[in-house]
Structure 1
Amino acid sequence: MGQILVPGTAGAADVLAGKKFSAGVLYDGAGTMPNRAHATLGGGYVTAVSALADQGGNIIMEPPTGYYTTGKNANGYGSLLANSPDLVPLNVPANKNIFGMQGSIPVRDNVNGTGWAPNVNHHSPSEIAAWDQNLFVRPNGAGGTGKQLYEGDCWIRVNDPDFIPSNIRLGVNIFGHIGTMIPGKRIAAGTMTSSQSRRPFQMGSSQGQMNYFFEITGHGFQPDIMFCWGMYDGYNRTISAKFGSVLGQNGWVEGWGDTVYTLSQNNNVDSLSGLYSRSGVYDYVVNSSLVRVPYQSSGVTLNYILIEA
């Protein structure tokens, strides 16, 4: 009996597994092509043989041999799977979306600065430290506190109210700040006007003398020397004082003769000149927040200089 030839060129690998076919000399043969149709996977996945990103926005996958159909499972995913452990939201900026996956890394840029409005491209650090002529700035997100991405024209800004030229020695350049401070004791200067009311002061053994007074505030240091000058009622008026070095509680001058206090009017020494101290309720005061000294007239305005102890 002769051989029957059936028209066709298909082989077993060209026909789905579980299906029969006849072609050429093969009659009622069994197909071997894996059926990877969506419906047969039951919502599962087929792992790609290989996958490679082309750096042009594409992922190219190599599927295993088989038969495929379109379709998605209940989660909205297709059936061909390629895995990369680094492709997770934590590794993608929050302003980027990759194949439907939104990134979660916070982005610090020139439109969402933190803490320095209206300078929106300025950002606050998490820590700062100075060591061995260096300033270290740790950005937010460093040190295990979570990732942060800085992009575009943005700055990390460190603020210290004491970082001003007047706190840096004259001519010294620290991060672009040129110092203007002349080393030495602090000095406060300004004008003062004597009071309209009187207070009791103690000079030598004479307690309770009622006198007008000057008050100086805001200098911020313990004064040692005061000098005042000016014109009033047609006369040159000056005051000089060397404050005592022995200070009691709250900065009051204590003990006899702690302060040498000299007033002059047109080069004539005033009767209020002498040695002053604080005792009981008498109101001679010298400390870092207040200087109160007696004067013979009310409403007199003089220039003053205080020099630090």
Structure 2
Amino acid sequence: PKPAPHPLDPAALAQALTALDGPPGTLLVAATAGTTDAGLIDPLDDIADLCATHGARLHIDAAYGGGLLFSDTRKELLRGIDRADTVTLDLHKLGWQPAAAGLLAVRDPHDLAALTHRADYLNADDDTDAGLPDLLGRSLRTTRRPDILKIAVTLKALGRHGIGTLVDQVCDHARHFARLIEAHPRFDLYGTPAISTVLFRPTGADDTHIAHVRRSLLTEGTAVLGRADLDGRRWLKATLLNPHTRPDDLTALLDLVDGQSRTTTPRLAEGSTPR
């Protein structure tokens, strides 16, 4: 099995940086604030300390967890993120924006120098001088549609507090769902949710059966769950992002998975036809 992705170990990072010691700025450490599989958050402050000691640049992938900054009660989970050189944010998750609403935040404006690249077919000097907008220097995605207006309208309408309330709601839902799983006699819980992702599996089921359960729920149109392979086992993944989810919805979801797990066989699942 593949090794399980756990939060980055500062001791192991210190050893690696010492072994790779080089001129300041030649080393880059990439930390994660919210892994895709389990929503785990690296110890960002400790990592930033090590980067400062070794003169390494720090990039933080906060595509998932960056939305915690809106929450007054959970922003401390990202302590140290302000010390990064660059940070990626994906507001289609804990920001409720279109899928293309990704952001790159930089400490030093010179890190955006690539946006000043010139190409005649994108920003001809005479067209720019005549007042026609160029396509470089405005978006990382050049000709693709920017979604910054939607982000701006959402921030204007809800504000940091409003979005933070939504973040807290989905994180609370995840904690509630985890408690339901922990109390259920036929399920195993991977661990306490770090953000809003909950990993669980039917007790005693093998990986093949779990995959069939997931596909059966999907093809029957009753539930859409993700999957993750961690610690040598396969897990069902529920990433809760709807603030309007109710406790009864979570109970019903668990009942669906339980019922499907006890009735689905690999043979039947393989032969089923998606609707």
Higher helix proportion: 2
TM-score, normalised by the number of residues in structure 1: 0.20
Higher strand proportion: 1
Return the structure number with greater relative CO, CA threshold 8 A, min gap 6.
2
TM-score, normalised by the number of residues in structure 2: 0.22
The structure whose Rg is larger is: 1
